[in-house]
Amino acid sequence: MAPAALGCGLAVTLEPLRELTAAQLRQIDGEVGLVGAVMEATATLTVGHETAQLCLQVIKACVHECDLGAESCDDRRIQQAHQEGDAAGSPVPGMMFLVTDSEELPGSVLAAYERAASAGFQLACEAEVGRLLAALAAAVPGGGRVLELGTGVGVGLAWLVHGLGARRDVEVVTVELDDQLQRTALPAPWPPWVRFESGDGAEVVGRLGQFDLIFPDAPGGKIFKLRRTVAALREGGVLVVDDMDLTRHDDEQLRSALAVVRHRLLGNAELVCAELGFSSGVIVAVKRRS
Ligand SMILES: C[S@@+](CC[C@H](N)C(=O)[O-])C[C@H]1O[C@@H](n2cnc3c(N)ncnc32)[C@H](O)[C@@H]1O
- pLDDT computed for residue 15 by the predictor: 66
| Structure confidence at residue 244 (pLDDT) | 98
How confident is the model at residue 46, as a pLDDT? 76
pLDDT of residue 30: 73
Q: What is the pLDDT of residue 2?
A: 31
Residue 32 is predicted with a pLDDT of 73
Of 18, 109, 207, 217, best ligand 1 pocket probe by most atoms within 8 Å of the beta carbon? 217
The pLDDT assigned to 100 comes to 42
Q: Which of 134, 128, 194, 126 is nearest to 164 (CA)?
A: 134
- CB of 163 closer than 6 angstroms to any ligand 1 atom: no
Ligand 1 proximity of 36 Cβ (cutoff 6 Å) = no
Nearest CA to ligand 1 atom 26: 152
Q: Taking a C-beta distance cutoff of 8 angstroms, is the pair 263, 217 a contact?
A: no
Q: At what angle do helices 22-39 and 52-68 cross, to 10 degrees?
A: 40
Q: What is the DSSP string of 15-68?
A: --SSPPPHHHHHHHHHHHHHHHHHHTSEEEEEE-SS-HHHHHHHHHHHHHHHHH
Ligand 1, atom 15, residue with closest C-alpha: 218
What is the residue with the minimal CA distance to atom 11 of ligand 1?
150
Kindly report whether the global pTM for this prediction surpasses the value 0.85. Answer: no
Measured from the Cα of 129, ligand 1's closest atom is 8
What is the chain's pLDDT, residue by residue, as a tens digit (290 residues)? 333 334 466 677 776 656 677 767 767 777 777 766 666 677 777 776 444 444 444 444 444 444 444 434 334 444 444 444 444 433 333 333 333 444 589 999 999 999 999 999 999 999 999 999 999 999 999 999 999 999 999 999 999 999 999 999 999 999 999 999 999 999 999 999 999 999 999 999 999 999 999 999 999 999 999 999 999 999 999 999 999 999 999 999 999 999 999 999 999 999 999 999 999 999 999 999 99
Query: What local confidence, expressed as pLDDT, does residue 146 receive?
Result: 98
C-beta pairs of 74-81 under 8 Å, 24+ apart in sequence: 74/1, 74/2, 75/1, 75/2, 75/3, 75/5, 75/6, 78/3, 78/6, 78/39, 79/5, 79/6
Beta bridge partners of 225: none
- The three-state secondary structure class of 84 is helix
3-state secondary structure of 248: helix
Which option is the CATH number for 123-287: 3.40.1280.10, 3.40.50.620, 1.10.260.40, 3.40.50.150? Answer: 3.40.50.150
For the chain, what are the domain ranges? 3-87, 123-287
